[in-house]
A and B are shown apart, each in its own frame.
Chain A
Amino acid sequence: MISEQTIGRDYRYWRPRLLLSMVVGYAAFYLTRKSVSFVLPAMQLDLDLSKSDIGLLGTLFYLSYGLSKFVAGLWHDRRGARWFMGAGLLATGILNILFAFGSNLPMLLVIWTLNGFFQGWGWPPCARLLTHWYSRNERGFWWGCWNTSINLGGAAVPLISALMALWYGWQASLFVSGTIGIIIGIWLCRSLSGTPQEMGLPSVGVWRHDPLEMRQEQLSPPMPQWQMFRSTVLQNPMVWLLGVSYVLVYLIRIALNDWGNIWLSESHGVNLLSANATVMLFEMGGLLGALFAGWGSDLLFRGQRGPMILLFALGLFVSVAALWLSPVHHYALLAVCFFAIGFFVFGPQMLIGLAAVECSHKQAAGSVTGFLGLFAYLGAALAGWPLSQVIERYGWSGMFALLTVAAALIGFLLMPLLMAGISAQDRSVGAMDPAVTLPQDT
């Protein structure tokens, strides 16, 4: 039996370090994943690719990424190997360098699909560590901090890529991100740990005295993996509902991320550097949004994620509509709209994953995030080739109409929760004290 002090010291030692490793590691994943999108405008010219070629590249990548995330989630929940994330990062770094030497389309497609497969090794370990090392009433904050790695990666990539592409050509930018991936991957293999239980510590709910966390732990008895997956993920209506909204969230996020700079440079004549800077603004907004969403749901709603998702979904709908309808030749307003969408899209992007992990089995964290990843990258795949078809047929306004409808649907999917909630409240208020409510009503 370890003393209370030792436990506290160990927890306090590991938690910030783990967060740092995960943030840096995931940002590096992001670097090796997004490295291509930001040099696409240059690559498009060099290799003579069409819009639907680019769309196909994206769709295949996201499909393999989504599938791999799901499989990796299942596998990692059972085995929980420490080196998993680092190994994945190492592989994607190598593939990035290989991609730079690719000259024809089929070869590029194969390499990039493989890259998608190894990219899937990033998230499940993070989800697993985040659920086991941080408890319910503070997880929003920690998860939000971790989520900033996406935005940090997303903001750093366009700068690095654009500068490298500008100075040394697009191959150099891929080469640099690949090298960074390899180095951080090797470092990551050594710096991550297992769950607190694997380190001989009590669970985080016990350490933090968090009743909600302990409740979830109680509701998560050990069971066979397939049964666990079936009962807490497949037969859980909340997970499905969250999954469907996730498709839409990702459709919007990836659409703006991947097509945003092309749209800006095509229809507004913005140069590559400022187009990427606008997309960076999108990531900045996302960073703030994820932090506020996570922290707000902890503090305002005591660890409930649903209400916060709803708030952000409403904001998202309004801001996507605004970007669509904004006066065309007003760059400042467009930039603010990009920031606003970033702010409102990364709240749900982060909270939906978090909510899904928290409404299922504790040991299934990797599986459920992987399962959601299927949905997410279905949405992302939709933002690839299918969206390029929409753009070719109906123009940019067609794409924005579609995105606005998607944003409205996110809020719409959450409406049943809202109605059930309020009518329940009406009943409970009435049942508690009819003597008070009746005279006022008559």
Chain B
Amino acid sequence: MSRAWRHQLLSLFIVFAWGLTWLALWTISFYLTDNGQQATLLLPQGVHLALLILLHRRYWPALFIPVIGLLIWLWLQQLMTEPVMLLSPLLSAIPALLVQHYWHRFTLYWQRLSLLMAAITGDALLHTLVLTPFLSSSASQTLLAAFTGGVVLTPFVYLIYEYLRQQHLESLLAQETPNPPLRTSLLIWCSLFFIIGVGAQMVVSPEIERLLLIVVFLPNVVMAYKFGWQGGVLAALLGSMMITIARQIGSGFNGLMEMELFLSTQALLGIGLGIAISRQQHLANNLHRYRQRLEVELQARRELMEQLVHTEEDTRKDLARELHDEIGQNITAIQIQSMLVKRTASGDATVLAAEQINQLAQRIHHSTRHLLRQLRPPVLDEISLDKALHHLIQEFAFDERGITCHFHYDLPGQPASDPVVFTLYRLVQELLNNICKHADAHKVEIALTQQAHGVRLEVKDDGIGFSGSTHTGHGLQGIAERIRALGGDLQLESQSGTRVIVNLPTLFQQTQG
């Protein structure tokens, strides 16, 4: 179907549906106000303004034609006495144009609702200013009628429009759910409040004025609190209907003005509260979203670090094997060769040279061994962590320095992950190094125990502690970094000696290593 046809048909639909709705709304307003002019301003005006703002300007003719036509008809039928009311639909076009100008700059619902409120106020003021000189009713009546109609119905039309627009935009993918979720809680709340309200009116209609406060304002607050601006808007409309019924059943209000004032107040309360709560919910949602995103980033960083540790460990392992296999064997060969040269040598110079070669080879051998140990403690490849640590502590020879050292090992098995084993080993090595060099301690306690999902290492001494954290050295800093990368944590306490506690998550091998 071509664009022009589509537009024509839509306009025709709007002419029919809007024209009939307008007349029906006018009839209801007429019943409430008993005044053709006021009736035009009350209910139809609110919907008219909302439609002018929400619909595209090419549909404006379809909005104006039925309204003006019906106004003329009503005038001819003597249901409306003042022909100046024919200006009313055109007057609304001015605030509508202004609001449409700003409409697309503000995308959030509360901003748009505020814009609508501004439009309602402007519209009511404009009508009052222009029409009052020609009407028999007072300026305040005109103002209140236009404002009440707007504040009750305009946000509701916006709510409906938002829903329809969203249905329209919904793509085929979103239609995959054949049964849209039904929210029954709202239905229950709504009907409950409405039934209570109407029931209260039936039973205690003489004292309704005092009761109305509870019956109308309370639902407004609750609905706005539970459902945000949608709830607020809906509650405002229901409240208005309830007040109207109250006025018709009993004689709750002294006059039309009082009822309109009450209507606007409760509608403003519901909508204002709804906006505030919706905005709060929106902010809370944003915060929640950012927190989740941060958590994901942190998790990714930790995984990256862990991978880094693994890669480093693998590289070291490869390097160490290479060094051990290649250089080690060759040095041994060089030593043997130099020995042979020495035995078969004839001159002193040759013997000297061979000895020097041997010594050089020896030195290279030593430095290689040192390098190997630094790269990857060779003991760990052969013996368990338990024994390797014992071995390490013995190497420090604390007894000879007059330091008593207690080592307590209580793990169900060897930690399953290699990086954890090496980290623990290096950590102990680094800490004991520090103690030997700086601590001036007399007593050292090392404990390795199992805890939930991991191991706990505690190293305690009674030395001088840290004078300043800069002294802890880059070695410890690097290890602390690794521990965090492996998902653990490191605590340093420096009160009458030093106490280091490390927790590392790991699994344990079932077989005793």
In the complex, are the beta carbons of A419 and B164 less than 8 A apart?
no
Residues of A within 8 A of B129 (CB): none
Compute the total of residue contacts between A and B using a CB distance below 8 Å.
165
The docked-state distance in angstroms from the alpha carbon of A80 to that of B183 is 38
Residues of A within 8 A of B30 (CB): 325, 327
- Count residues on chain A whose CB falls below 8 Å from chain B CBs: 63
The docked-state distance in angstroms from the alpha carbon of A288 to that of B17 is 10
- Residue from A211, A344, A423, A440 in contact with B108 in the complex, judged by beta carbons closer than 8 Å: A440
Interface-located stretch among A102-110, A199-207, A306-314: A306-314
- Asked if B451 is an interface residue, CB under 8 A from chain A, the answer is no
In the complex, are the beta carbons of B77 and A299 less than 8 A apart?
no
In the complex, are the beta carbons of A333 and B27 less than 8 A apart?
yes
- Count residues on chain B whose CB falls below 8 Å from chain A CBs: 56
In the complex, are the beta carbons of B107 and A311 less than 8 A apart?
no
- Asked if B4 is an interface residue, CB under 8 A from chain A, the answer is no
In the complex, are the beta carbons of B17 and A236 less than 8 A apart?
no
Residues of B within 8 A of A327 (CB): 27, 30-31, 79
- Residue from B28, B172, B184, B283 in contact with A416 in the complex, judged by beta carbons closer than 8 Å: B184
Q: Which of B164-185 contact A (CB under 8 A)?
A: 164, 166-168, 170, 172, 175, 178-184
Interface-located stretch among B18-26, B337-345, B385-393: B18-26
Interface-located stretch among B285-293, B452-460, B478-486: B285-293
Residues of A within 8 A of B159 (CB): 418, 422
Residues of A within 8 A of B397 (CB): none
In the complex, are the beta carbons of A412 and B190 less than 8 A apart?
yes
Interface string of B87-121 (1 = CB under 8 A from A): 00000000000000000000111010000000000
The chain B residue with its CB closest to the CB of A413 is B187
Residues of B within 8 A of A322 (CB): 23-25, 27-28
Which of A304, A319, A322, A441 has the most B CB atoms < 10 Å from its CB? Answer: A322
The docked-state distance in angstroms from the alpha carbon of A227 to that of B499 is 72
Interface-located stretch among A85-93, A127-135, A430-438: A430-438
The docked-state distance in angstroms from the alpha carbon of A302 to that of B164 is 12
- Asked if A222 is an interface residue, CB under 8 A from chain B, the answer is no
Q: Which of A326-359 contact B (CB under 8 A)?
A: 326-327, 330, 332-333, 336-337, 339-340, 343-344, 359
Known: A318-B25, A416-B186, A431-B289. A340 touches B166 (CB 8 A): no
- Asked if B416 is an interface residue, CB under 8 A from chain A, the answer is no
Residues of B within 8 A of A437 (CB): 107-108, 282, 286
In the complex, are the beta carbons of A430 and B79 less than 8 A apart?
no
The docked-state distance in angstroms from the alpha carbon of A236 to that of B178 is 10
- Asked if B508 is an interface residue, CB under 8 A from chain A, the answer is no
Which of A212, A314, A418 has the most B CB atoms < 10 Å from its CB? Answer: A418
Known: A325-B28, A416-B183, A430-B282. A330 touches B77 (CB 8 A): yes
In the complex, are the beta carbons of A318 and B28 less than 8 A apart?
yes
- Asked if A170 is an interface residue, CB under 8 A from chain B, the answer is no
In the complex, are the beta carbons of B186 and A419 less than 8 A apart?
yes
- Asked if A292 is an interface residue, CB under 8 A from chain B, the answer is yes
Residues of A within 8 A of B17 (CB): 292, 311, 315, 343
11 A-B pairs (CB sep. < 8 Å): A295-B9, A314-B21, A322-B28, A325-B27, A337-B24, A416-B186, A422-B162, A423-B227, A437-B282, A437-B286, A441-B286
